[in-house]
Structure 1
Amino acid sequence: MTLTWPWALLGLLLVPVVVTGFRRLLRRQEERRGELARQGLVVSVPPRDRWARLAPALLVAALVVLVVAMTRPVAAVAEPRREGTVVLAFDVSTSMSATDIKPTRLEAAKAAARQFIDKQPPSVRLGVVAFGGTGLVTERPTTDKAAVLAAVNRLDAQGETSLGGGLLGALSAIAGRPITKVATSDAGSDEESNIGYYGGTSIVVLTDGENTTGPDPRDVAELISAAGVRIEPIGLGTPEGAVLQVDGFSIATALDKATLQDIAEATGGTYREADDAASLANIYDSIELNWTMRTVPHEVTSLVAALAALLLAAGATISVLRQGRVV
């Protein structure tokens, strides 16, 4: 505990003065009462019992605590809070314009993402990555929710899909520098140590799971796992899928959950599936962030003053019941 106004403790110097004066007052009262009793003017009063002696002690204690309250004490209180970094990695390939989730897969993901962003506490940093043929960091992890929402609103579906590239883009956003390749088995340990460790960080991947170009997302997931990052894939679409018309060609697209389940398992994350906008919003709510205990200073003047008031009330009550007066 720290004191905001420690000089107020000088008030404790008055406590001995008050106690000495009070004892002198009691002594005079007892001497006067004894003299009147000898003259037969008053009834002899028996010695005070221990309850009567307790009352002054409580009143003095109340005075001491009240002086301590005047110093404005500050106590360090451990508070639970959610914190960490979440990177939202959006698949913006052409297949995300499919309408098996209304109005489209991408628009439903963006709508649910806005709700997720609004609900996050200030202690959570949010980033946005868009991936088609490659992963592009459109907003680095920040606590500026307005910037994150603006990045989500700018997303548009077009091009091919590189799920591995999107994961590398998300890892780049977390690491704060570009990471463009996956380590080989011979250089894996060096590559992993160069990336660093980012516990308490998650990548939420919103995709239909279809992958049309490298790198292999499973290899990237292994690298991400070594960095202490969880991948939380959200599968968008239905197994039946939909047919898109692109440049006069009909292209069938459907949810491929096997790959998404593999990358979730590799990093200790959880694969979730959304086949409509409502279930997608519920999935966002179920994503777990780290709970940590942070020591936060709180002024406890009111609590100390309340303790002083309780001691004062207890002392006054005992005194009135035993002697018919407070002092």
Structure 2
Amino acid sequence: MTTLAELTTLRVGGEVASLVTAETEAELVDAVRTADEAGTPVLVLGGGSNVLASDDPFPGVVVRDGRRGIQIRESSACGGADVVIPAGEVWDDVVVRAVAEGWSGVEALSGIPGSVGATPVQNVGAYGQEVGDTLAFVRTWDRGAGAIRTFARAQLELGYRTSILKRTFTVPDDSGRTWGPTPRYVVLEVGLQLPLADRSQPVRYAELARTLDVPVGTRVASSEVREAVLGLRRGKGMVLDAADHDTWSAGSFFTNPVLDAGASAALPADAPRFPIGDTGLVKSSAAWLISHAGFERGHGLPGPAAVSTKHSLALTNRGGARAADIVALAREVRDGVARTFGVVLEPEPVLVGLTL
């Protein structure tokens, strides 16, 4: 029998009662609708790179989106590349195609594991770019209404690692229901609008600019940005490698905390602070807080679960961990940061059958 450990990058999780691989949109919608009508839990799973699943059996249906391909609806110097991508497509394959075709705007998102459908849910971002920068629309199956619903970018309420799609996990909708472990809106297709350019978008991230040896704001060849980003990610254990237990993770386990003025002022003077526009809010660094709360890289070794030896924001399976081991480590880190700095870190992965 298939287990969620086999389907996720953390490589933990119990047996799956039923597994469906959908090769068409109709099959995907039918599998989700049938489960919902029967009152059966449903987990729509892409690459499994942002999931922490319980050791207990999952008592429902896991639906995998097997659709692949990129549809180019337009490509012109004026309009750019207008592309539509099924949710099941591998995200990094899209970036490879974009760099090869001269579609600018996603090159800094190289090496991010998982599927296209997951990217708008938490507005995936890295090294100064977010998928929302080029997002045109998201076409979804609305489980609540039992109908197709398309969201224009402005309707998605995108923010730092959030969207209206993600909020349906925890925020009650107009019927008073919260949804999970699959959001109310199941992503079917993602539309991107990508400028045609030989060069990247301006490099915004200081670490990436230093790696490329250029000033922040410089445009360079998109292929150079991709290679630099892949190098940085490999150095942090953020490019999947079956032989490297530092990559047996869900990537960054905690989101960077967004703080009000009071909480920000209470942090040590040298803590990172990044103002968020004119909101009065400040984003700090979860990695900095974790390491300065005493959880250094490798914390937990030689146990089955440990902080990555390459990056303090990743919690890793050292080869024999169970979900309970990852949860125990996550609680230890979260509670230690809260005691030290008064900041409660929020987990980034989708939690299936468990809580922190």
Q: Same fold (TM over 0.5)?
A: no
Q: Indicate the structure whose relative CO is greater, using CA pairs within 8 Å and at least 6 residues apart.
A: 1
When normalised by structure 2's length, the TM-score is: 0.23
Larger helix fraction of residues: 1
When normalised by structure 1's length, the TM-score is: 0.24
